[in-house]
Structure 1
Amino acid sequence: MKSIPIVVGSFEAKTHLAELLRKVSSGQVVRITQRGKPIADLMPIASEDLGLVTVAAHKMLALMKSTTVQDNLDIKSLISAGRD
């Protein structure tokens, strides 16, 4: 069951960010508004989502370490190559 969000304005969110993050880490959802219009929701990351992000980050690091950059690489020519 979703929790009912705490609604705060953007100024209050900026001023009390640390307190709001503590509430989010305990499972509460915080809705941030700007001039009364909902702009964003702060919500805890689901543990399974965090695990997927961690796995993806490790795969990206492994790929970056295994790949070498060519010295004669010209970014402009690579960009223009896809514009034919």
Structure 2
Amino acid sequence: MAATLVVTATGPATAASGPVSDVRFAAHLNIADGQRPENFTLEPGGGADVTFAYSRQVARITPDGRAHVLATLPAPPAGSTPPS
């Protein structure tokens, strides 16, 4: 399975702004590797910072589509149940 991060060149769309016409694929992500994006924020240079919930990682996706892991959060303590 694969996921795709899609961003707009004009910023986020709202219901009042109408259809978005300038959309591009920023990166193809691999869900099997834990790259399931949960949140993202756009960077001024055209990249994006994303969180991968299932792999507990924060990554930067460069404008050319490469993902670089910035941090990996610690695993939950043994025996605990993380939120689902």
Measured against the shorter chain, the TM-score band is under 0.3
Larger Rg: 1
Higher helix share: 1
| TM-score normalized with structure 1 length | 0.23
Structure (1 or 2) with the greater strand fraction: 2
